[in-house]
Amino acid sequence: MCDCLSACVRRLLPEKPNHGDDKPNHGDGNSKVDAGGKRPSVSPPAPPPPGRPDRPSENAIYTGIWPFEARHRDELSFQVGDLLEVMCRNGDWWTARKIEKNGRILGTGIVPHNYLARAESLQMQPWFFGTMSRFEAQNILMEPPNDEASFLVRKSEKESIGYVLSVKSNNAVRHFRIPHKDESFYVEQTQQFSSLGDLVNYYCKHSLNDIVSLGSPCHKKKPNVEDINHLLDDWVLPKSEFTIENQLGNGCFSQVFRGRWKNHINVAIKVLKNDSVDNTEFHREVEILKRLHHRHLISLFAICTESSPYYIITELMEKGSLLQFLRGKEGQNQDAASLIDMATQVADGMSYLEEQKSIHRDLAARNVLVGEDYICKVADFGLARLVKEPFYISEEKKIPYKWSAPEAISHGKFSIKSDVWSFGVLLYEIMTYGSVPYPGFNNREVYNKVKSGYRMEAPSKCPSFIHSIMLKCWQEQPENRPTFKDLRDMLERSSYELESPPGGSREQ
């Protein structure tokens, strides 16, 4: 059996869990799943950018572009410039073997795909940052290491856009679309190039609109790899493997703490209060989290159920809840475009839930988490339900009135369309930097006013098209409300996103 096939088989066949040995090892790597095949891989790596297909054969040679130190016996350490032969690709973590130039094998194991690049590929360029949103690019470029005219080239998250040149200019960030047509790349139609490298080299010497020339490539930060799904044999782990540190939040049903797994990797530990939820409810929440995997949804790592209180282990989002973020100094400094980008991320995650026929039932800024590079992820699926019918009927009385659709309050009818109503309120929270919706009204007053046709007015400095989207979310009849896919597309089409010089191309 060939090495690649052997490695894949080892990673797919169940093996007896071994939680006692987590020492880094440079031998064979075999990330495993449980006997039922329930442990999923993480989200797949982004496809290659259009116009520059990069689809290597199964056994392709890559180069390390960041040093990686193994934290577990299944992982493989390597340094910048090391050659690695990738044998199998499984989500964000690949099986590879480190080789010398003469072909001698130095070790085999699991490696993070975003620490590698193929020789001569765009990923090897110091100015290329891969797939990245406008918001991420803006915040990275505005960090202190980057001077005036620092720049990067990125692949827009929006499939219709393609490449974008983002440049720091006059204490702001400007974004120029780079159309790719007939084997040519350009920002200004009068200047066309056969490659992105040629385009960048030209504008490092010549002006672009009112920017004299491009400066230094944006400072690159080492990618975050605090993911443990590829290292786990089972969903259920002993509490002894986790160390609880400082508290991050406190809710009606749980407390959330920063923690570490085996003193190696940062995680978030959600400790359920003993009387907060019965065993059935707990396992229902876990089953929902296990099924759902998306860039803008929080990832479940494991659970601890050996004794009360139960733990839910998820990825750690360093900046806390979106509500806390908006009310803090960082949030207060965000412009309207950045706020809308955060809303777009939430809509993207909810669009995935919509596709999976799942509902959230408590969508609000307090239940969205913000991580490194301002990535937003929908969290707290404690009230979520997988549904086969359009509506889920609930008799529970714990309803977040100010965020809930009228039919959810009056008849307990929850659906993806009632989540859309909640998203409209979430938009209000975002555009007001975390203000409480329906200020001055109590829960009963809010319900009565909404039933009589009242809708919140546009917040101060809120773009008119955003308030228009809010009103679409607050249509009385659920069927008249947009889908989350529609909402995501509306937000993505916002014309504020990209700037272009004369003769260039502006996103519509």
pLDDT digits 0-9 by tens, 424-480: 999 999 999 999 999 999 988 999 999 999 999 999 989 999 999 999 999 999 999
Give the C-alpha distances (Å, rounded to integers) separating 246 from 265, 351, 374, 383, 494.
Answer: 15, 33, 21, 26, 40
H or E element at residue 117: strand 116-117
Give the C-alpha distances (Å, rounded to integers) separating 462 from 465, 467, 490.
Answer: 8, 7, 16
Q: What is the pLDDT of residue 373?
A: 78
Does the pLDDT of residue 147 top 90, yes or no? yes
Nearest to 248 by CA among 369, 346, 365, 342: 369
Classify 99 as helix, strand or coil.
strand
Q: Helices 416-431 and 464-473: crossing angle, nearest 10°?
A: 150
pLDDT band at 496 (very low <50, low <70, confident <90, very high): very low
Q: What is the pLDDT of residue 277?
A: 60
H or E element at residue 487: helix 484-492
Residue 116 CB neighbour total at 10 angstroms: 23
Omega before 309 cis (within 30°)?
yes
105-112, strands of its sheet edge to edge? 105-112, 93-99, 83-90, 60-64, 116-117
Q: Are 178 and 153 spatial neighbours (Cβ–Cβ below 8 Å)?
A: yes
Q: What is the pLDDT of residue 275?
A: 60
pLDDT band at 163 (very low <50, low <70, confident <90, very high): very high
Domains, the chain, with CATH or none = 3-122 (2.30.30.40), 125-203 (3.30.505.10), 229-314 (3.30.200.20), 322-492 (1.10.510.10)
pLDDT band at 391 (very low <50, low <70, confident <90, very high): low
Angle subtended at Cα 51 by Cα 50 and Cα 56, rounded to the nearest 5 degrees: 80
Q: For residues 60 and 48, which has the higher predicted lDDT (pLDDT)?
A: 60
Q: How far apart are CA 508 and CA 498, in angstroms?
A: 9
Structure tokens at 115: 């620490």
What's the chain's Rg over C-alpha atoms? 24
As a residue count, the chain comes to 508
Q: How far apart are CA 192 and CA 182, in angstroms?
A: 10
Q: How far apart are CA 293 and CA 486, in angstroms?
A: 21
Instruction: Quickly list DSSP for 210-250.
Output: TB----SBPPPPPPP----GGG-S-SB--GGGEEEEEEEEE
Q: What is the pLDDT of residue 7?
A: 39
Q: For residues 181 and 54, which has the higher predicted lDDT (pLDDT)?
A: 181
Q: How far apart are CA 236 and CA 183, in angstroms?
A: 52
H or E element at residue 291: helix 279-291
pLDDT digits 0-9 by tens, 170-207: 988 999 999 988 889 999 989 999 999 999 999 999 99
Query: Would the annotation count 270 as a binding residue?
Result: yes
Q: How far apart are CA 190 and CA 361, in angstroms?
A: 52
**Positions marked active-site:** 362
Q: How far apart are CA 414 and CA 392, in angstroms?
A: 5
Q: Where are the alpha helices (DSSP H) in 20-76?
A: none
Q: How far apart are CA 246 and CA 119, in angstroms?
A: 43
Q: Where are the alpha helices (DSSP H) in 319-415?
A: 322-327, 329-332, 336-355, 406-411
Q: Where are the alpha helices (DSSP H) in 66-189?
A: 134-141
